[in-house]
Each structure stands twice: as C-alpha cells, then as structure tokens.
Amino acid sequence: MTKVRLTNVGKSSLIKALFSLTPELEVRVSKTPGHTKKMNFFRVGKAFTVVDMPGYGHRAPRDFVDMVEPYLYTRQNLVRTMLLVDGSVGLQRADMIALEMCEETRRPYVVVVTKIDKCGRGTLLTNLLSLQEVVKTQTSSCFPQPFLVRSVQFWGIHLLRCFIAHVTGSVKLTDTSQS
C-alpha cells in the first residue's frame, strides 16, 4: 500500500488515524508542510506494509521522481496506491501529474479526499464533482469511488480501514447472497 500525495494534504494524519488501533505503529505528524523527505515504511503486523512517501508540489524533495517512480513501477507486491487530494482545494496541476503517473503504472489506485471539513459544502461538492469527472473520463486503473476523510475526527476512517483490509487480503469477504 503506497500513499502519494501533495505536500500538506494531511497524509501523516491519515496514516496515524488509520492505524490508531495499532499501538506498535508510531506515526509522527509534523505541523511543518513538506516534512516527509524520504519513504517511510510501516509494517502492520504480518498483514501488510504502508509506505509513506514524500509529498509532491510545494517543498517536495528534489529527488522525488527518482525516489518514487522506480518504486511505483517495479514493486511487484504493491497492492494499491492511494492518491491523496485536499478536499478544500480540489485537484491541482500537481495532482493531475500524479494521477497520470498512477495511470501509467497500470496498477490499481484509489483517491482519498482529505480535509473535507476545511471548506464549505458548496466548495467540497464542486471539487468532488470535478474529481468524479476526471475519474470517469481520464482514468482506467482508479477505483471509481473516492474515499472522503477527516483524519482528526476519524470521519470516513472506518470505511477506508475496511477497504485496506479487503485489498490487502487481511479480511476475506464472502458472498452471503448465495446462502
């Protein structure tokens, strides 16, 4: 599981919220945008590893592309990439470049919309409609439904945890309609 995101989109806060029930997983959150400068690996029991990548855009490390691109293209056990988008500002040019990179890898990815409480509902709705149009018209590997979260209050965190558990094979879903 890999997280690619624009700097200061709340990625470290998201990881901290997702794994708050896993006390052995210590995630530090900095108030300084662009604090993550290298890939950080968090092993979640024996189930899977989350890779926290530096942000792109503002204050991104100079070697971002050299560090991230080979990882995304060559990692055979990569299950899902999460592209984080700040819900209060919507898709930015840097997000579109990251989305194109995710599409080029031809591996499944999902969009996680963060900070959904940081703007008015009209702005959030406009940003979500724009995102949905991009997903519908410009993607082929993207999970069609974005996940909406607010990490500090744990909004949407349970659903995203369930998705992660499912795609990593940590939880097997059964079809109860056949019973």
CA 34 from centroid of its chain's CA atoms = 16
Burial class (CB in 10 A: 0-12, 13-18, 19+), 81: buried
Tell which wins on pLDDT, 38 or 117.
117
Query: What's the rounded Cα separation, in Å, for the pair 77 and 163?
Result: 17
- Please give the CATH number for the structural domain made up of 2-178: 3.40.50.300
Is pLDDT at 69 greater than 60 in this prediction?
Answer: yes
Question: What pLDDT does 128 receive?
Answer: 96
More confident residue, 129 or 34: 129
The amino acid present at 96, given as its one-letter code, is M
**In this predicted model, which residue has the larger pLDDT, 179 or 14?**
14
Looking at the predicted structure, is the pLDDT value of residue 57 above 60?
Answer: yes
Given pLDDT bands bounded at 50, 70 and 90, which one contains residue 136? very high
**Side-by-side strand order, sheet with 2-5:** 40-44, 48-52, 2-5, 81-86, 109-114, 147-148
Distance CA 159, CA 113 (A): 13
To 10 degrees, the CA torsion angle through 116, 119, 38, 97? 90
Mean pLDDT of the chain: 82
Break the chain into its structural domains and give their ranges.
Answer: 2-178
